[in-house]
A and B are shown apart, each in its own frame.
Chain A
Amino acid sequence: MRLLLALAGAGCVPAPPPGLVIANGSDPQVLDPHRATGAPEARVLSALHAGLTRLDPRSLEPRPDLAESWERDPAGRVWTFVLRENLHWSDGRPLSGEDLVESWHRLRDPATAAPYRNWLEDLEELRLEGRELRVRFRHPRPRFAEMCAWHALAPLPPEMRRRGPADPLPPRLVGSGPFRLAERRIRDRIRVEPNPWYWDAGRVRLPAMDFLTVESGFTALNLFLTGDAHFLADFPALARPALEERERRRAREAAARGLPPPRPEYAPAPFLATAFLRLNCSRPPLDDPRLRLALALSLDREALARLAGGGRRPAFSLVPPWMPDYEPARCLPPDLETARALVQAVAEERGGLRPLELLTTGGELHRDTAEALQDHWRRSLGLEIRITVQEWKVLLAAQNALEYDLSRSSWIGDYLDPETFLEVFRSGSGNNRTGWADMVYDRLLDRARAAADAAERARLLQAAEQRLLDQAPVLTLWFETGTELVSSRVLGFERNLRGVVDWAGLALAPEAE
């Protein structure tokens, strides 16, 4: 018994702090900002590491962080950042401009194995003069100040810069952000505390934050509903009706007591991500653009978005409609007659059509969507669809090997620019995975990349998107929604397109009696 208690004690942590508790999904894969990609990683790293800029959580405009100011040439090819004086790492060592330059060199080095390496691929010059950092690219990078807020471009201390991909972590993880690491328990929690060396330490209001590892969505929801967690990144779709009802009840209760309506804890908001199907253009019969177009023309996106629910909106373009200074292209309106004629023409030419294989993953939403599409295409076009449910990594491998006909997909934008969606389908891009290689599309992207004038660039990108929609290597379905559950006790939280959280600006109100 004593042994048992001792063992239980080994899994014990101090009582929860009077701080914010975040049910953060899966355990972060890696706490190295250069090597991390996922959303749970991004939430933790954005608390621990500061970039030259940070994003305003309301407007997503870049604001000064480690850099006090910056300038750019009109095209956005040359950028000059002025670093703050007296910057420090979270252990008190001074942070210099050299640290930043060396960090970016490490990001670009293939040996680092950094997923965001391509962000600095066409860097032509990186020069430090005093506190001035001059950055020159081969092509314009109009969104570079915004990109600098992302953890991949944050400076790293020397001991982190020397690590290979499989090397052990340094015993103490040091950063430059508003918080610093207090404790990490694998698969349990990451506790962070305010970083007294952060240049803007006075802005930090929370005494501590716990990022809990909670893989099951239901478990996370339980923690939220009992008040043991204040921030949930996601929850099971099954719980949506109950949560909507809960919001209505909270509003009624407040009204009955004559109080102003409470801030909603569940409020689906637009999110910079598009759900779509990849079509395999490298093998018959979907190598025939007429058949792809027929599928595109027959889609009822309104109905699909309704089926998906949760505030999702139909996607008539690949690029979500919330990009500043960009009007997305638009796919052709539904036209069942033309679609049927196209299918018939292709079928006659080929002497019939074989059943098409639709790859999807488990989970209610994906299964329901696949079944709805199967039913719809059988009835409207007479096409037979076979659904294959695969585990996520197996599905990715099948996509990479182009061993599918249709496959469920989605893409999350990295920054507020159409190219973060359109570059995916350039010929030969590792993310393309449709076998679609189109010279016209590539040339339009090249020209947009080189364009110095913003309006001209937007026009070229729109033309490229139109080409993509007309050639239909992908069928866009809906735009995703952000589904954070945030306790009404959390003050200063702003919902935005990218799920960016300004941790330093948050506070936790005392528990209501």
Chain B
Amino acid sequence: MRRRLLTRLLAWGATVLLVHAAAFLLMRATRGGPFDEERALDPAVRASLEEAWGLQGSWLEQYGRSLAGLLRLDFGPSLRYRGLAVRDLLAQALPLSLALGGLALLVALLLGLPAGLAAAARRGRLPDRLLRLLSSLTLALPGFVLAGLGILLFSFHLGWLPPATAGGLRHLILPALSLGLPVAAQVARLSRQAAAEVLDSESVQAARARGVSGFLLLRRHVLPRASLPVVAFLGPAAAGLLTGSLVIEQVFALPGLGAFFVQGALNRDYPLVLGATVVYTALLGALSLAADLLLARLDPRVRSLG
């Protein structure tokens, strides 16, 4: 187990380095530079700027400087947000992105899991069919459409929630719902499927015959096995929530990581794009590793493979 963990960690580090190199190459190969504006800069001014950001010299030298920065976890000063270090920008944006992703995950679990179990318990009847319809609908709608509908209802018609901007928990409700609902639909489908199988299994039939029922049956027999596919799904889902937040952050004007990524690329803010890419890659790796570890704890079959 320990050896497997070590291998995973090494692979994680190598992935981060590879992604950093690829991002560096892609950014430089893209046409247009950070100092191209409608109002042209005079050559002396341009030269001062290139020197200030270390953009002189060959790509290889620049890559070397960028790599050295990465190892020190210092991505240098941002080109777009002048006077601010990329590290500080990321540190300021990360908590919000994590809070949004975490809330969305909570929405997904708190809505998806009970709905899935309830549907499994009443297979083929109205609650089951209703769930299937709702989950298909939610999965078919992209997050920004859900966001738009949410804004229309809660901000314009009811006036309960702000349509955009950051400012505390109230401002995160609509974004977290828009982001979390499609995942909740997936969680509901997975848990319904798994719970249905468990309910039909011989062990549950036997437990029922022994008179175990209701909450105890759910807790002892159904939940542990029905939640396995959900946990396996959580790693990629959490990763999807973090990367999927780009659009939602834009719609709700939230100062999270996502917009740094998109705007950074459009502005050719090389240090910021590299920093955001590395943070995303590292997060995704860490999340999928954490989900695997959790699964190994819950499922003896996975553990034995290690």
Contacts and interface: CB of A to CB of B under 8 A. Distances in A.
A228 interface: yes
Contact of A430 (B41, B53, B159): B41
Contacts of B42: 110, 117-118, 430
A168 interface: yes
B166 A13 contact: yes
B52 to A, nearest CB: 4
Contacts of B263: 26, 215
Interface stretch (B97-105, B120-128, B132-140, B236-244): B97-105
A111 B51 CA distance: 10
Interface residues of B, number: 63
B37 A8 contact: no
A51 to B, nearest CB: 20
Contacts of B155: 222, 226
B48 A111 contact: yes
Given A37-B37, A113-B48, A168 B83 contact: yes
Contact of A396 (B37, B49, B256): B37
Contact of B266 (A115, A393, A431): A393
Interface string B29-42: 01111001111111
A111 B46 CA distance: 9
Contacts of A219: 163-164, 250-253
Contact of A7 (B33, B47, B48, B102): B102
Contacts of B48: 110-113, 165
A165 B82 contact: yes
B32 A8 contact: no
B32 A188 contact: no
A7 B255 contact: no
A439 interface: no
From B30, B38, B92, residue with most partner A Cβ within 10 Å: B38
Contact of A115 (B45, B103, B156): B45
Given A37-B37, A394-B31, A186 B89 contact: yes
B259 A115 contact: no
Contact of A400 (B36, B156, B162): B36
A338 interface: no
A213 interface: yes
B272 to A, nearest CB: 11
Interface string B77-88: 100111111000
Interface residues on A, range: 35 or more
B206 interface: no
Contacts of A114: 45
A9 interface: yes
Contact of B166 (A12, A397, A433): A12
Nearest to A228: B162
Contacts of A165: 48-49, 52-53, 82
B169 interface: yes
B80 A29 contact: yes
A93 interface: no
Interface in A356-398: 391-398
A8 B162 CA distance: 15
Contact of B83 (A11, A31, A111, A216): A31
Nearest to A188: B255
A188 B92 CA distance: 11
Given A29-B80, A113-B45, A228 B95 contact: no
B49 A11 contact: no
Nearest to A23: B253
Nearest to A170: B83
A168 B99 contact: no
A509 interface: no
Contacts of B75: none
Contacts of B268: 393
Contacts of B38: 396, 410-411, 431
B165 A396 contact: no
Contacts of B293: none
A11 B291 CA distance: 27
A214 interface: yes
Interface in A49-86: none
A246 B79 CA distance: 41
Interface in B63-120: 77, 80-85, 89, 92-93, 95-96, 98-99, 102-103, 106
Contacts of A167: 77, 83
Interface in B160-190: 162-169, 172
A158 B162 CA distance: 41
Nearest to A431: B40
A115 B52 contact: no
A117 B45 CA distance: 9
Nearest to A9: B168
A212 B256 CA distance: 14
Nearest to A169: B83
Contacts of A163: 83
B82 A29 contact: yes
29 contacts: A4-B103, A9-B168, A11-B256, A12-B168, A12-B169, A32-B83, A35-B82, A113-B41, A115-B45, A117-B42, A117-B45, A165-B82, A166-B53, A166-B82, A169-B83, A186-B81, A187-B255, A187-B259, A212-B253, A213-B253, A214-B253, A215-B263, A216-B250, A223-B164, A393-B31, A430-B40, A431-B38, A431-B39, A433-B40
Given A115-B41, A392-B32, 10 more contacts: A12-B169, A112-B45, A113-B41, A115-B45, A164-B52, A187-B260, A215-B253, A215-B263, A396-B38, A430-B43
Interface of B: 30-33, 36-49, 52-53, 77, 80-85, 89, 92-93, 95-96, 98-99, 102-103, 106, 151, 155-156, 159, 162-169, 172, 250-256, 259-260, 263, 266-268
